[in-house]
Amino acid sequence: MTETITGAVERHAATRPADPALHWQGAEVTYGELAEAMRAAAAGVAGLAPGPVGVCAKKSPQAIAFVLGCLRAGRTVVLPSPTLPAETLTELFERAGAGTVVTAADLEQATTGDHQAEVHSDDNAFMLTTSGSTGVPKLVPLAVGGIERFTGWVHDEFDVGPGRRVLNYSPLNFDLCLFEIWSTLRRGGCVVLVDPEIAADGGALLDLLATTEPHVVQAVPLFYQLVADAADARGAELTLPSVEHVIFTGDAMTPARLPRLRALFPSTRMHNIYGCTETNDSFRYELRDGDEERTALPLGRPLPGVHADLVSDGAILTGPGTGELVVRTPFQSPGYHNSSAGDGAFGDHPVRRDGHRHFRTGDLVRRDEHGELSLAGRADFRVKVRGQQVYLQHVEEVLLGSADVLEAVAIAVPDEHAGKRLHVVVRRRDDSRLNSLVLRKYLAERLPPAAIPSTLSIGVDPLPRTSTGKVDRQHLVLMSEKR
Amino acid sequence: MENKTIITSYLVREFLPDVRTDELESDYDLLAGGVIDSLALLRVVDWITTEFDLSIDDLDLSPDNFRSVDNISALVASAKS
């Protein structure tokens, strides 16, 4: 039988009760303590209305113990972003069939009870949400078996077992927690939880890394930038030698920033991991010397058991070219839950028709003449400007290659004369003198004429983000139409 | 006012709202950087004919004549002579 996360926590608590399970705000929670809190929560959960349980709370040891309690009581945990509008949250919980929603304020009461924990089990452990920035997100159920296979891969590749410390930067509702929190607890390591309060404070993040000495760090590129900038500000030649694996995920890492990170993490291997909520991780690339010369990092190889094709114009692309990535992973969701749009991108392979359930990622991937794969952008981010194809992501990569640019987004904006015009929004470094003249010159040296933006907006404020931390493109399109 | 100054302030006002006039060098490549695209070119031509009281027939409209402030200024000078 498949071992569950909660079964594993019990086993760790029985064999190594004093081992740390969580590190939080300078203190440790042992496996013994975590298992006790989990049992108390499970007893409390057994008294709640049957069915999935909604959890709308920020990251904390209590929240994690409560999620474990739900899983132990055989309940599916519905975890949307707590920052979504209240109406959207209500609709999501309703659609998920969650009879009870627990907020941060309820956690205290909800984690105790004397009900006999009911031992039945849902097929699904979690329901996460997609990161669409418009409308109500879709619910993505994740089955117990898929999660167990995923924790196996994480452990084989990175060792998250006893004696190891794994940093968790992402919020509790992010799919990245399947790696950072749930795989680590399943395999017996210690999760170093980043308090959401310090998530944007590079100095505090740097201190946390220096004092807790994690072995595995996975985060979005922005995290590494914050930490590297803070290290630069300290002046001293500070290094973080404990880290054996640095993982970039969730967004494109700018290769020009790699040398700085290699100096900061002198003993690490570096990985670029690609995936999405629906399928979990599907590709990994291990970085090599010289990668800093590239404009973008490649996707690398499919993870063990992952099947991937590039599909273009109804055929499987076997040679060089660009096509939509279609994948099947051992970790993928059984399909969207109770979605009015039906199965969406889940379904039979569009070409092979082999009866296996695949996922059309909507991501365009380019295969070069050496067979190397790299992300060309979202299928819906390929736009025609003045009759020519422009890959928005490529424009963004080039922008981010400038040392004066902190954040950058390229968008196609409807235009009364040109049909569509290319607009870029850039956040420059506070101390830089970047203006549109300088940036246009820089772009002209690196991009074809069609990819030179018609209009540029350069500022020092952070770009607006959606509830899952991605740049809110829709909002920027609306803003630039208003000009 | 010298023609170059007039041309520079027009370009900055119309196409480079975040730039000061002294930041636009007179040899900056306006075409490569996309400051002047094909639509903008029409507006520039229209402005030149009004500002310097020239007929469009006096102007050599090859794109290279609009590549920089220097080139536009030379175009105006040759059309006026």
Contacts with A478 (C-beta within 8 Å, 6 or more apart), sequence order? none
Q: How far is CA A198 from the centre of its chain?
A: 18
Q: Which residues in chain A have their CB less than 8 angstroms from residue B19's CB?
A: 435-437
pLDDT, tens only, A17-43: 999 999 999 999 999 999 999 999 999
Which two tokens mark A377? 């952008």
Which residues does residue A245 pair with via DSSP β-bridges, in sequence order?
A: A216, A269
Strands A269-276 and A357-367, how do they pair? unpaired
B34 to chain A, any CB pair closer than 8 A? The answer is: yes
Q: CB within 8 A of B56, min separation 6: which ones?
A: B45, B49
CATH of span A5-199: 3.40.50.12780
Choose the closest CB to A453 out of B19, B23, B34. Answer: B34
The one-character DSSP state at A465 is B
What residue in B sits closest to A448 (Cα-Cα)? Answer: B32
Query: Is some CB atom of chain A closer than 8 A to the CB atom of B12?
Result: no
User: What is the rounded end-to-end Cα distance, in angstroms, of chain B?
Assistant: 18
- Give B38 to chain A, closest Cα distance, Å: 10
Say which of A386, A435, A453 has its CB closest to residue B19: A435
Q: What phi, psi does A40 have (nearest 5°)?
A: -65, -45
Q: What is the pLDDT of residue A278?
A: 94
pLDDT at A376: 82
Chain B residues with CB under 8 Å of A436 CB are 16, 18-19, 35
Contact in structure between A207 and A195 (CB atoms under 8 Å)? no
What are the helix and strand counts (H, E) for chain A? 14, 25
Name which of A229, A189, A190 is nearest A206 in CA terms: A229
Determine the 3-state secondary structure of A239 from DSSP.
coil
Residue A287's CB is within 10 A of a number of other CB atoms, namely 23
The predicted pLDDT at position A111 comes to 55
How high is the ipTM of this complex?
A: 0.83
Helix (H) or strand (E) segment spanning residue A9: helix A5-15
Strand ranges (DSSP E) for A187-279?
Answer: 190-193, 216-219, 245-249, 269-276
User: Cβ-count burial of A365 within 10 angstroms (0-12 exposed, 13-18 middle, 19+ buried)?
Assistant: buried
Compute CA distances A92 → A53, A178, A458, whole Å.
12, 21, 37
Ranges of chain A whose pLDDT falls below 70: 1-2, 108-122, 131-135, 340-342, 380, 386-387, 417-418, 467-469, 482-483
Q: What b-and-e string marks burial along A298-334, b requiring 16 or more CB atoms within 10 Å of the CB?
A: bbbebbeebbbbbbeeeeebeeeebbbbbbbbbbbbe
The answer to whether A441 contacts chain B (CB < 8 Å) is yes
Are A384 and A390 in contact, with CB atoms under 8 Å apart? yes
Q: Is A460 at the interface with chain B, CB within 8 A?
A: no
Q: What is the H or E stretch that residue A42 is in?
A: helix A31-45
- Where do we find the tokens 């020239």? B54
Q: Angle at CA A273, nearest 5°, toward A267 and A276?
A: 150
In angstroms, rounded to a whole number, what is the distance separating the alpha carbons of residues A386 and A34?
59
Q: For A152-181, b where at least 16 C-beta lie within 10 A, e where not — what string?
A: bbbbebbbbeeebbbbbbbbbbbbbbbbbb
What distances in angstroms separate CA A346 from CA A12, A149, A334, A411, A434, one per listed residue? Answer: 37, 20, 9, 27, 44
The answer to whether A26 and A194 have CB atoms below 8 angstroms apart is no
CA A264, CA A212: separation in Å to the nearest integer? Answer: 16
User: B3-15+26-80 architecture in CATH?
Assistant: Orthogonal Bundle (1.10)
What one-letter code names the amino acid at B12? V
Asked if A52 and A77 count as a contact pair (C-beta separation under 8 A), the reply is yes
Q: Check: CB of residue A187 under 8 Å from CB of residue A160.
A: yes
Task: Name the phi and psi angles at A315, rounded to 5.
Answer: -135, 155
Q: Give B48→chain A minimum CA distance, Å.
A: 21
Chain B, 42 to 81: residues with Cβ < 8 Å from chain A are none
**Contact, A231 vs A264, CB < 8 A?**
yes
The boundaries of every CATH 3.30.300.30 domain in chain A are: 386-482
At the second CATH level, the architecture of A305-377 is Roll (2.30)
Chain region(s) in chain A for CATH 2.30.38.10:
305-377
Tokens of B79: 């059309």
* Strand A165-168, strand A139-143: pairing: unpaired
3-state secondary structure of A30: strand
Distances A130 to A51, A136, A446 between C-alpha atoms, Å: 21, 9, 34
The predicted pLDDT at position A133 comes to: 46
Helix axes A5-15, A31-45, angle to 10 degrees: 140
Task: Characterize the bridge pairing of strands A419-428 and A455-459.
Answer: parallel
User: Do residues A214 and A178 lie in contact, with contact meaning Cβ atoms separated by under 8 Å?
Assistant: no
Q: Which residue, chain included where needed, has tokens 């094909």?
A: B38
Domain A386-482 in CATH 3.10.310.40: no
B34: nearest CB among A417, A418, A452: A452
Q: Where in chain A is the domain with CATH 3.40.50.12780?
A: 5-199
